């Protein structure tokens, strides 16, 4: 029996959420270019993670594990900044939760060595 790959759907959802955030705020590139660039970088991380987890076998590579860890760390940092400024909405919690699922799933699959069952 093949183990479920939870990292891929989490990464796809993270990609969609970040893309929608950028699409709904076209003025962000003028009003807050640093925030916009950060969001574009997050979009790239999510897209790379979604692609890698969709095409890898049962065991993720070390670079995929690192990528999922970077997504989790970045989302934790984003959540911390939003909480510090009192502007944390559902999106930042969602992004952190999705990145946690992706990272935890990659760690689980690495620890199990791609074993089935």
pLDDT digits (tens, 9 = 90+) for 16-54: 999 999 999 999 999 999 999 999 999 999 999 999 999
pTM value surpassing 0.95: no
* Residue linked to tokens 């069952």: 117
pLDDT digits (tens, 9 = 90+) for 50-102: 999 999 978 899 999 999 999 999 999 999 999 999 999 999 999 999 999 99
10-45 CB burial, b ≥16 within 10 A, e <16: bbbbbbebbbebeeeeeebeeeeeeebeebeebbeb
């Amino acid at each position: 029996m093949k183990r479920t790959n939870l990292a891929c759907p989490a990464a796809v959802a993270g990609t969609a959420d970040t893309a929608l955030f950028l699409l709904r705020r076209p003025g962000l590139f003028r009003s807050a270019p640093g925030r916009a660039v950060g969001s574009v970088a997050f979009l790239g991380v999510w897209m790379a993670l979604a692609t890698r987890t969709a095409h890898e076998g049962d065991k993720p590579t070390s670079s995929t594990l690192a990528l999922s860890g970077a997504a989790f760390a970045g989302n934790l940092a984003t959540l911390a900044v939003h909480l510090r400024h009192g502007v944390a909405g559902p999106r930042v919690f969602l992004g952190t939760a999705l990145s946690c699922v992706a990272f935890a799933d990659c760690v689980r699959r690495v620890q199990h060595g791609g074993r089935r069952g």
